[in-house]
Structure 1
Amino acid sequence: MYGLETIMEMNKEAGDRARELDVQPFMLDDKAQLDEMPPFPFPNIGDDAVEVDKLYERVDTLFCDSSGFGAPGEPALTIDQLMAKLGDLIEEHGEIRVAIESEGQFQIYLGVWK
């Protein structure tokens, strides 16, 4: 399991890479997209999420299992729970943008903006 210092360094590197390559959050504007996409098509923007917060309004931060072994009832959303939550957010806000802002060994935090 990664230590906090390692995770922070990984997220800094992801942010540096995102800024260098001008990586933008993944855009979702239709619930039908959720059925057609792979489980995690979202770019890892790491600590660049601070800059995205300046451009868009954050509507949620989601803690998700990224291993595929998570179960309902655990703190991290399973893939099915994540897709349902994203569908709810699309219904509520219309077009949303999603990106990984922190990644550990088995879980991720997703930022969601409108």
Structure 2
Amino acid sequence: MRNKASVRVGLVVSVCCAILFAVVGGLEALFRRGPSGDGAKYVASFACFGFMFGSILAFDALPGERTPGRPLLRIVLSAAAGACLGLLWQWPGEGLALSVVVAGALGYAGTTWAKYL
């Protein structure tokens, strides 16, 4: 039961990060780019990245923590965020596959790279 609760909390963290990144993307689009047709895609792109970042933060064991990380869940959720990004921008098959692979690799690396953001 505790296992399912930690996954739920992790998913809530991921969704909250996606919302936070989307808000930042919306503000960025509004104040720097001005009104344009791609504003919604811009915000959604930030949300995809935020979901990937939140998934990594939620499911990676940080140094000093007693709980184990969940690398498979990190990889799957990060790859899903990469797939959403590729589908959002309607990239061809190769671009979509590359997006999934790169996002999955970043999910696998965990907070090794995310701590530099």
When Rg is computed on C-alpha atoms for both structures, the one with the higher figure is: 2
Tell me if both proteins adopt one fold, taking TM over 0.5 as the criterion: no
Calculate the TM-score normalised by the size of structure 2. 0.30
More strand by share: 1
Higher relative contact order (CA 8 A, sep 6+): 1
Whichever structure has more helix as a proportion of its residues is 2
TM-score normalised by structure 1 residue count: 0.30
